[in-house]
Structure 1
Amino acid sequence: MAEKLFGTDGIRGTVNKGAIRPDMFLRFGEALGYTLRKAGDRPVVVIGRDTRASGLILQSAIVSGLLNAGADVALVDVLPTPALGWLTVQNGAAAGLMITASHNPFHDNGVKVFGPAGYKLSGAQQDEIEAIIQDPGFDCTVPAERFGRVVDAEFDVSSYADFAVRTAGPDVSLSGLKVVIDAANGAGVSAAEPVFRSLGAEVIMLADVPDGVNINTKCGALHPEGLSEVVRANSANVGIAFDGDADRILVVDENGEVADGDQIMGAIAIDAKAQGRLAGDTVVATIMSNLGLEGALSREGIKLERTKVGDRYVVERLREGGFSIGGEQSGHVVLADHVTTGDAIIAAIAVLSIMVREGKKASEVLSVFEPVPQLLENVRYQSDDPLSAETVKARIESVSENLGDSGRVVVRKSGTEPLIRVMVEAYEREYAERAVNEIIAEILKADGQ
């Protein structure tokens, strides 16, 4: 059976290993172009990328496939993933492609696919494209007189930056705030500084000199330690950390303490509720969000709905329910009144706007709840599916039963890497540690390690 290509967030893996090769991405371009051509004779696809050295290689392959299948292409170069989603809509494109591996190391790369409304493709749409890719006999091409062309994009990353500034509203000025931004040597370097300077903030940039291989390396949302140090050393009001494609955010307060996506979501949602702007008085998060967030929202009259892990599932539920705020503990924060996916820049603007309007420090705004002790460990596996072993199932069930209503157990495979994520949440940290170790030991045994 052929290797499955699409995971929870597009196609992603180590370049030139397995299926993640230029020839597969050429075929991907052909398959996408063919499916889009069914809905319109000459579809336009907007393509952006992050700063990885392999980005231009994959872009060339995808462009070749799209042109060969009769689709036109508009290249918008380096920009954040949420900007690409927004530009897909603004340019009236049939689809948008973001060439990125998000928070993964530089040697990984892949593609996220957006539909014409700026939302990531559904599972059914991904399956259709994948079936064509996996069928070498399926002809997606067009005659030479119908080949696609590379065309100019009417809107680009500067258009997105102007839009991001407008989300703050006409009366918000960040004048007087000293803000440190860690751009993770990634896609956020193209927009972050001009946005926050336009709003009046004093900006100190970190990790803003990408060289193709330093994306996410000891910087950004995965490594906020350096940002914390710079915030304290410069007596800054707040620090903002992006991941490689700037759809994920962490915030560092004036004391250097890190606030994750749960605290950020909670702060924005409670503020929106107080202003009568929280649609349905509901926040959508995933099964990984902390119990403490659920309790804090409940006390404010806000319901928390949970989905599977992946911002795509959060966005699907936001759309179904007509809700306006959702996200993930990892830092994807979706403000659906403005954007169609996680957006670090616009989420940061929302947090800073609360600070200015309420006259509060970042530590005050982001201390929404006391987290219930939560331990998360990743286990790299080699066999097909160690979670299917009866011994592993029994251990997980035993831990869950012992916790009862005083905690939660979540064990799942990563959708982008050969990892199993083991999370135990319990009011007693010692029990959580013991439970995580017991489950990991069982998984390793089942995996033959």
Structure 2
Amino acid sequence: MQVSLIILAAGMGSRMNSDLPKVLHPLGAAPMLHHAMAAGRALEPSKVIVVTGHGAEAVAKAAAAFDPDAIIAHQTEQLGTGHAVAQALPHLSGGDAVVLYGDTPFVTADTLERMVEARARHAVVALGFHAADPGRYGRMLAEGEDLQRIVEWKDASDEQRAITLCNSGLICAEAALLAELIAAVGNDNAAGEYYLTDIVALARQRGHSAGVVICDESETLGINTRAELAGAEAAFQARARLDALEDGVTLTAPETVFFALDTFIGRDAVIGPNVIFGPGVTIESGAEIKGFCHLEGCHISRGATVGPFARLRPGAELAEDVHVGNFVEIKNAVLDEGVKVGHLTYLGDAQIGEFTNIGAGTVTCNYDGVMKHRTVIGARAFIGSDTMLVAPVTVGAGAMTASGSVITEDVPAEAMAVARSRQVNKAGLAVRLMERLRAIKAGKA
């Protein structure tokens, strides 16, 4: 059975006190929206429909960044969750539909799979949870797995408010039936909105069954304020650290390591303290990231070591057994097997051949103020300390550059490039100069 995802992402999030749409606030270095899309991806959906509203253009762009095939449905007026789902209905074409929320980032793939499995037994399936403090959640009236109806808190009686089984808002239903039920939803309620949850009672009135799947309350955490976002970040990081440890990754100080949503680290990799992962990082088995490194958009191969105090930016590709030391920055550069970049170096827009040694203080001067240019260094070259490589430039295999050189022309293979002024020693000048300076200073006093 094919499954379509409908992700509701139209809300402004006024309690965030922000110009940024709520679903675009970052969690684990990714918009909240991406978390919902990532969970739904486990269902291998035939379609992903994102319903936008406030900040529609930015939300649509973020959705496309995660899934270029995502379909955008715009909700011009925010008239409730039922009305939001209605905007997505024209894009459905059979099968089941699962409704998710862009500001509920912790629902798991396992829970969504259980909802789809339950749909085989019920026409409509809603996701519920037992709340420690039910507060203003909608209440679910159920007998076992059979769900009678969902009552919003504003419309619930005192007896119903005493129920602890609460509604998460997530729904799974057969697509054609969902369209039929949404068309029948009214807004005769305390908020004057079209509630998606009304489809449960409507389904039963038409002779269909409704079911409830129960998950842990932590999966249903919605984010409405900056304080809740901070709490969610802490929860995300705690889960990510535990997952890494269980996957065979060594974290020497787990509480100081910060992961992104898509961080991938192989078994037996070692991560030191105070390491921060931005988006798009892959670290293969057996690599080591030492303390105080910041990595994003990079790939680090087996046996490589990075840091401490290194920064890897998007496009950094480290092959096996590469060593990147302290205070090194690498951007859009490929380092082949065995390259060593010990310290105090910037490599940007570069290709470094295998087993080349890059001396301290080396800089690839890749930007002319308008355009970026590339530096290519061959295999087993030796770049002397404090070399400035003014791109575009090529250093051949086995070549060397003298320390302190400014390389502006290509260096042939196995050649030695010296590009600096000849040293001149002036006998006794240091003493005479210092005496003169001291005299000038004394005269001013």
Give the TM-score normalised by structure 2: 0.25
The structure that is strand-richer by fraction is 2
The structure that is helix-richer by fraction is 1
CA radius of gyration, larger in: 2
Give the TM-score normalised by structure 1: 0.24
